[in-house]
Amino acid sequence: MAENLSYLQSKSAAYMWEHFGQVTFADENFAREIMQLFSTGLVKLNLDGTPTLESGNTVAVYTNDDVMSFARVWTGFDYERRRGNIEGCSF
């Protein structure tokens, strides 16, 4: 999944500035997918599962600022080297 959503080996803004002098932003794809598909969804729901409405419009669960904040959390993930004491065992 990491390869498809491009958060694998993504670099934080601080790392890119310190090492390359580039102003960048964390990749938001993974954060947006987690929030939309696996946790909150797009709209706030009532206890019965119907969308919450304000003035006839649905209420968003999160803003783009929330997505940007979560994107900062998921930077720096990389492949883990195999550990011979666990992955190499056959039970």
Per-residue confidence (pLDDT) for residue 8, from 0 to 100: 62
Query: Span 62-90, mean pLDDT?
Result: 73
* 66 pLDDT higher than 70: yes
How sure is the predictor about 70, in pLDDT bands with cuts at 50, 70 and 90? confident
* Residues in CB range of 45: below 8 A, 6 or more apart: 51, 52
CA–CA separation, 71 vs 33, rounded Å? 11
Q: Average pLDDT over the chain, rounded to whole?
A: 77
Q: Which of 16, 7, 14, 17 is nearest to 76 (CA)?
A: 7
pTM exceeds 0.75 for this model: no
Report phi then psi at 4, rounded to 5.
Answer: -70, -35
